[in-house]
Amino acid sequence: MQLTAKVKEILSWYEGECPGVKGNLARLLMQGRLAGTGRLVILPVDQGYEHGPARSFAANPPAYDPYYLYQLAIDAGLSGYAAPLGLLEAGADSYAGQVPTILKVNSANSLSASTPDQAVHGSVEDALRLGCAAIGFTIYPGSDACYDMMEELRELTIEAKSCGLAVVVWSYPRGGQVSKSGETALDIVGYAAHMAALMGANIIKVKPPTEALDLDAAKKVYEAEDIDRSTLSARIRHVMQCAFAGRRIVVFSGGEAKDTEGLLNEIRQIRDGGGSGSIIGRNSFQRPKAEALALLDEVTKIYLGDA
């Protein structure tokens, strides 16, 4: 399929990357119903590791089956599907070539009470073997483990890119100077996106920012410079600016399951603020399939500009 002008422009931002990485970014950008628009909707399923299987799948038991999740991403015409090793392996052969996959290579779990950290349980070699387009990695800037996590990310990034894989970074500040409510404050989310960009992330995942400001030193600047944070779309625009003046792909999570209209409004503002798209997990696979497809159809239409 021929690349659209929009996709060519996006790829031109990644001038530091080898053709293999650009090719994999193109795979994600040219897939599904949003192909060629420069927007992405990705299905992530790492909640089983993070929260346990029942909290993730009991509301919609067919989702316990790895095949269901692949099929959902395909049937909804999404841009990609991200999951930890076991889930991808379980269907990698059956669904080979049908949807670009992102191997999520590290995870936390809800049983641990230690310093916020994650276990690296996937490898670049795994991602290659399974035909993935990218690896995904979470960092917790702020945590006492953050410097170690960043160094793990750097090593995996070098290895992944040298093999032509793209790198998706979940940048989730946590611990240290960051208050619990501050994890989604505007200054913190913008900072999170910027650090991920500086570390070479090709695609950045952050949470939609609130109006709050968490660090005193930042607050002073936001107020002095009168940075607009009155609406979500203004805040999204600021986060995109923090990602190299919009030269990086930034997708936003849907957060905890919420009512449909609330979710769709949020997505309209992400679109209006220039966000690159959404990662929608629990809001999709925790509903019966028909409802999930209907919701994802709405989301897709918003990014297509039809809603």
Answer for which of 19, 154, 181, 291 binds a second copy (CB under 8 A) is 154
- Say whether residue 144 binds a second copy (CB under 8 A): yes
Which of 205, 207, 258, 289 is the catalytic position? 205
- Say whether residue 247 binds a second copy (CB under 8 A): yes
Does residue 152 contact residue 128 with C-beta atoms inside 8 Å?
no
Using CB under 8 A as the binding rule, the residues of this chain from 189 to 228 that contact a second copy are 190-191, 193-195, 197-201, 215, 217-218, 221-222, 225, 227
Residue 45 C-beta: closest distance to a second copy, Å? 10
- Say whether residue 231 binds a second copy (CB under 8 A): no
Does residue 282 contact residue 47 with C-beta atoms inside 8 Å?
yes
- Cβ atoms < 10 Å from Cβ of 255: 16
Residue 307 C-beta: closest distance to a second copy, Å? 30
Q: Binding string, 116-135, against a second copy, x = CB under 8 A?
A: -xxxxxxx-xx--xx-----
Token pair of 23, please? 């090719």
- Say whether residue 177 binds a second copy (CB under 8 A): yes
- Say whether residue 146 binds a second copy (CB under 8 A): yes
CA dihedral 179, 275, 260, 54 (to 10 degrees): -60
Task: Look up 258 and say whether it is catalytic.
Answer: no
The per-residue b/e assignment along 166-175, b for 16 or more CB within 10 angstroms, e otherwise, is bbbbbbbbbb
Q: Helix %, strand %, coil % for the chain, to 5?
A: 45, 15, 40
- Say whether residue 21 binds a second copy (CB under 8 A): no
Number of residues forming the site for a second copy (CB under 8 A): 89
- Please work out, in degrees rounded to the nearest 5, the angle formed at the alpha carbon of residue 136 by the alpha carbons of 133 and 142: 160
- Say whether residue 257 binds a second copy (CB under 8 A): no
Catalytic residue set: 205
